[in-house]
Every structure is written in C-alpha cells, then in structure tokens.
A and B are shown apart, each in its own frame.
Chain A
C-alpha cells in the first residue's frame, strides 16, 4: 500500500482503504477498498475535496496485514536501543498509534 496525492492517482489503481466523505457527519465509507480507480471516480473524489488516498498495486487482501506488521517490526527495530528511555518509549507509542491509524482508517481529507 502507498499513500499518494489525488493528483498522482491514475486509472486502474486499486483503493487500499475505504474512502469516506470528508465532510459527511458519520464518515461512513462511500468507496470500498478494492475498488478500481477510473477517470470518472478520480474526478468525483476531487469534487469531494479528497486530497490524498491509499492505493495498492494488486487487490490482494492479505497484503495489507503483512504490510502493517512489517512496518511495526521496523518501528521496533528503530527504537530498540531506547528501551530504558521513558520519553522515547512514549514517542514510539505515538508513532505506532499514528501508523496503525493511517493504515486502518481512511484519512483522505
């Protein structure tokens, strides 16, 4: 999965996360992950004020879980020498939370 700007979105890319209307009150997804992008859909997203979105090359469901796990492992590795440092452990927690959020929730706005 990668996050891209809508300006870089092209036909045939696959949505890697659900997209909700940015100003909708309930933020219910209106485009499901796995949807293939078309010119018309890209235009509609632009009209909704969506600026960035997550896409994947293939519509493979297991891919994302592996992707998140890999990123979390890499995060652990980057912080592995800081175990005794409370401030840095808290920073790791903050980055971890943000990472999980950005992978699981759409934040196309």
Chain B
C-alpha cells in the first residue's frame, strides 16, 4: 500500500516542491490570519500590487458571486466577501500564474462549479455562500498541482483515461493511490487556507469524510457533478460521477430542486463562458 503512496506524498508535501508563493501573497495570507491586523492594512498591502488587486476585483465582480452593482475598490471587496473568501481569491490569483494559456477548460470548469455552488448555497440558505463558491473555485486545484509536479506521470494518466475510459480520479487512485481532492486538500492547508475552504476541497469526491463542513463539501460535490452533466469546461475526463448518497442525504434536496438549479444554471453559464474567455488576460 505504502509503496506508491509514500514517494508521491513526499513530492507533494515537500514544501520546496509546492508551487512557490510570491512574497507579497505570502504576506497577505499571513496578515489575513492575524486577527490583530486591520482591514485597512490588508487592503493597503493588496492595493500595492497592481496585478493582484486587479485580479481580485475582476473575480469579485464575476458572475459567480452575483453581487448587485460594481465592486470597484479592495476595501469594498473585502467587506462584501469577508477575509476567508478573499484569502481564497488571493490563492486563485496564484493559480492563474501556475496554469498555462491552454487551460481554458479548467477555468470554465472551476468558474462554472463556483457558480453552481453559489446557486445551491443561496437556495439552501447557507450562512456564507461566498465561502462555498470560493471552495468550489479551488476544488480541482489538486489537478493543477499533479500536472505541474509530475509532468510525465500526468501524460501517462491522460493515456490511461483515454484507453480504459475511466475518470481522472480512478486513474489517479490506480497510479498514485491518492486523488486530486486529497492532494488539493494538503496543498491549500499547507498554504494556510481556513478549514471551511480546505475540507470541502479535500472531500469533494468523498463527502462522508467531511467532519466539520459536510454541507459545504456536499454542495461542492453536487455543483461539480451538475457542471460535468452540462458538459461545461473540461478537466481531463468526460464522465459524470454519481451523486453520493451521503451528499444527497445531508443536503436533503429532491429532484424538482435539481431541475430548478439546472434551469437557473443554464442561463448563468452563458455569462460564465464569456467571463472565462477574458479572465486569463487579466
């Protein structure tokens, strides 16, 4: 058991092998953790970095948060989103750096899942829908990490998926004995993201494993499935995973609910598609 899992975990968990976090972002993440730091100080630091602040504003105005009006300053974005969601956006801006220009499919999938999660979370009256959207935005980050850290294995993974017609997750478990959800979970918690984002990312394919944020994990799980069912975006394989009984149970929804979400999502995805077309140029 340990034979494959061990070396792979070492590569991933080795801090030096993780994508490097630029100094300014590391500092922002630290400040966001520190309760004594004021909003003002954090805002000033974020605003001092042109790229970072324009990306955050662009994301804060994206179709998946659905705030009325236009968010035009960093302090306003921080007030509306809260520091945990801002932290997720800061990280999202790093992933922009990590992904190549050809990963439009990945962004469409991530932005689409964030949008679906937002629709579900609001309908279920979850306290902080922005946090669930942000977790959904980052849910497949493990795939980006596997791709960037294990280039050769990643090629082999894609070949497996095509030849055996399996999902990416099945191929990962077969080859590495861990999946991208677990890898993503390790990464984001090592970067200091709060548990409300880490657990849903780590458990989006295994909702039962979520102990504290099972509802949030189930929403990300369902949102991911709805986006795959719609064939929106692409992240390595085409197959729709089944909705897990544990997710269905904790959300306590029914099929008419699925239909309502699907209709609302259909309209929203036109907007998301246009948004993703422009996002990488930010």
Contacts and interface: CB of A to CB of B under 8 A. Distances in A.
A90 B243 CA distance: 12
Nearest to A54: B270
A81 B258 CA distance: 20
B68 interface: no
Contacts of A102: 266
B34 interface: no
A48 to B, nearest CB: 17
A3 B267 CA distance: 9
Given A75-B231, A78-B229, A98-B262, A88 B270 contact: no
Contacts of A87: 242-243, 248, 255
A40 interface: no
A98 B266 contact: yes
Interface string B220-232: 0000011011110
B240 A8 contact: no
B-side interface size class? 20 to 34
A98 B238 CA distance: 19
B67 interface: no
B163 interface: no
Contact of A78 (B238, B248, B255): B238
B239 A81 contact: yes
Interface majority SS (helix, strand, loop, mixed), chain A: helix
Nearest to A87: B243
B262 A52 contact: no
Contacts of B262: 94-95, 98
B2 interface: no
Contact of A91 (B229, B231, B271): B229
Given A78-B239, A98-B262, A4 B274 contact: yes
B84 to A, nearest CB: 31
Interface in A60-109: 71, 74-75, 77-82, 85, 87-88, 90-92, 94-95, 98, 102, 107
Contacts of B258: 90-91, 94
Given A90-B255, A95-B230, A77 B238 contact: yes
Interface string B248-259: 100000010011
B263 interface: yes
Interface of B: 225-226, 228-231, 238-240, 242-243, 248, 255, 258-259, 262-263, 266-267, 270-271, 273-274
Interface of A: 3-5, 8, 52, 71, 74-75, 77-82, 85, 87-88, 90-92, 94-95, 98, 102, 107
